[in-house]
Chains A and B, each alone.
Chain A
Amino acid sequence: MDEQNEQIAALQSGSETAFRELVRDNHHALMAVAVSLVGHSDAEEMVQLGWIKAHRHIGAFEGRASLRTWLTRIVINECKMWLRKSRREQSISQPLEGDSPLGDRFKPDGHWQIPPSRWHYDSPDGLLMGRELADCLTRILDSMPGQQRALLELRDAGGMAFDEICNELSLSASNARVLLHRARARLFKLVDHYQETGEC
């Protein structure tokens, strides 16, 4: 039995310890998804309602997706219901504007003007986990347009399938690819600058 199966078995047997660990591991990531969809002021309530639903329905979880993906779907549904009720659904959809965040790093001939600096890290796992980087990361994520951040949170942080994200956010695949590229490029630029200067 692998680790996720053991965790699911414990959750479905009603273990509070297992549910606490599930909350500990996923709460921040789910908050980030909710912030990208409904904003800071309502995100916490959406995630809380999501946890109540997850606790109620964990017995029906079949393990076809990862627990993170399953939880993310629940939170997306809570956010969409809330947006429908408050008639703010249009706030999910925003026009595509602007250039690539790394556009200013190239010369007019298309070659690097400011090439990436050499990053120093022991393993990729810890690259974004430094305490000093945390504030910069929060700031850059908060400054991203909602859809851009949602793409990054759902695809790269949550591992959700690209087609499913397009469906949930009512986006064409080509627009979604542009938004995801921009979100990643902004993150790359942040880390590159931080690695070089130690500042945001």
Chain B
Amino acid sequence: MLKCRDLVEHTDALLAGELSRRQRWAVRLHLLVCHHCRRYVRQFRDLLRSIPRMHGKAEDAEVDQVMQRVREARDD
């Protein structure tokens, strides 16, 4: 039977759909009996969903600075 540490190591592959049928079965069995790992997988999946937005948007001053250099390069 999988240990919690193994489950954590398998979670990336689980969410990427890269586990074999046998590994998937072992993971499901473990999740059935371990609420800590169910929470880990749920929160880990949500964390991955949040990463694309983690850097936020640029401020006006930063956009202005980029556009200034773009205009200078275009006019060269």
Q: Which residues of A contact B (CB under 8 A)?
A: 16, 19-20, 23-25, 27-29, 31-32, 48, 51-52, 55-56, 100, 102-103, 106, 109-112, 115-116, 118-119, 121, 124-129, 134, 137, 152, 156-159, 177, 180-181, 184-185, 187-188, 191-192
Contact = CB atoms under 8 A, between A and B. Distances in A.
Contacts of B54: 128-129, 137, 157
Interface centre among B3, B50, B57, B62 (most CB of A within 10 A): B50
A137 B47 CA distance: 13
B63 interface: yes
Contact of B50 (A16, A20, A28, A126): A126
A16 B44 CA distance: 39
26 contacts: A19-B67, A23-B62, A24-B58, A28-B58, A29-B52, A32-B55, A51-B70, A55-B74, A100-B8, A103-B5, A106-B4, A110-B5, A116-B43, A124-B49, A128-B54, A134-B56, A156-B48, A156-B52, A158-B52, A177-B12, A184-B44, A185-B8, A187-B51, A191-B43, A191-B47, A192-B43
A51 B73 CA distance: 10
Nearest to B35: A115
Contacts of A116: 36, 39-40, 43
A127 B67 contact: no
A124 B39 contact: no
Contact of A20 (B39, B52, B67): B67
Interface of B: 3-6, 8-9, 12-13, 36-37, 39-40, 43-58, 62-63, 66-67, 69-70, 73-74
Contacts, number: 122
Contacts of A157: 51-52, 54-55
Please report whether the interface of chain B is mostly helix, strand, loop or mixed according to DSSP. Answer: helix
A29 B53 CA distance: 9
Contact of B58 (A27, A124, A134): A27
Contact of B48 (A19, A48, A177, A184): A184
Contacts of B37: 112
B57 A25 contact: yes
Contacts of B47: 124, 127-128, 184, 187-188, 191
A23 B67 contact: yes
Contact of A115 (B3, B6, B39, B49): B39
B74 A115 contact: no
